[in-house]
Amino acid sequence: MILSWLLDVPGSFVNESLYSHCWGKYATQLRQKLGSEMHISAGDMGRNLALLGLLNIDGTCTGAGVLSSFSGGSISYNIADKYLSFIESNSDTQPGNNINVNRFALIRGTLPIYYGSLFGIPSVYLAKTDLVVTKEDEDAIYSNVNSDEKFYYLSIGAHNAPISLLSLADSGITKSIIKDMVNGMTKTNYDYLLLNSTT
């Protein structure tokens, strides 16, 4: 049995997320600041983005930079540069075209957004992005991959989350789904998060 994961695939940034907006806006300056480094951390990207936002009186990107400045993990400069190129490009295609595998799983991150209350009941909706990758990109990747068994999960979490509680990669739900899928299970403890399946 082959289980395939497109790990940390950003999509082609069809719609904007918070980070694709800010990284795209300051791509040239970020490349200049980080170009001498072989590996950079999400925190380095965040601190540089926050500084660029401050210098340009851009509260949105300053806030995004501050938020991700506490993130751990590292990324090679080449991959960061590729992400910036994807964001800047209007002609790249979605990943997954012409991929044929026996088994495929995709986990889309989202964050609950509070927007007030109705008759004293808190109203919450789920964001269409995990702050980096949009729902539209995730949907297209899922559609593009050809597989006998496909699973599409939704999990609470975000890229560049400053605390592990909000990190999609660190989420116990995400780890459990991956473990169950790798072990060949077709049912998991989190099937209530299953958005779509071909089994």
User: Domain limits of the chain?
Assistant: 3-10+93-197, 18-88
Q: Residue 109 and residue 68: Cα distance in Å, rounded?
A: 16
Query: Which of 110, 83, 125 has its CA nearest to residue 168?
Result: 110
DSSP per-residue letters across 96-115: TTT-EEEEEEEEEEE-EEEE
Strand partners, 96: none
> Cβ-count burial of 107 within 10 angstroms (0-12 exposed, 13-18 middle, 19+ buried)?
buried
Q: Residue 40 and residue 21: Cα distance in Å, rounded?
A: 20
At 43-102, the pLDDT tens digits run 888 888 999 999 999 988 888 888 777 776 677 788 788 878 888 887 777 777 888 888
At 100-135, the pLDDT tens digits run 888 888 888 887 776 676 677 767 777 777 777 888
CB 198 within 8 A of CB 106: no
- Three-class SS of residue 78? helix
pTM, entire model: 0.75
Q: Residue 55 and residue 120: Cα distance in Å, rounded?
A: 41
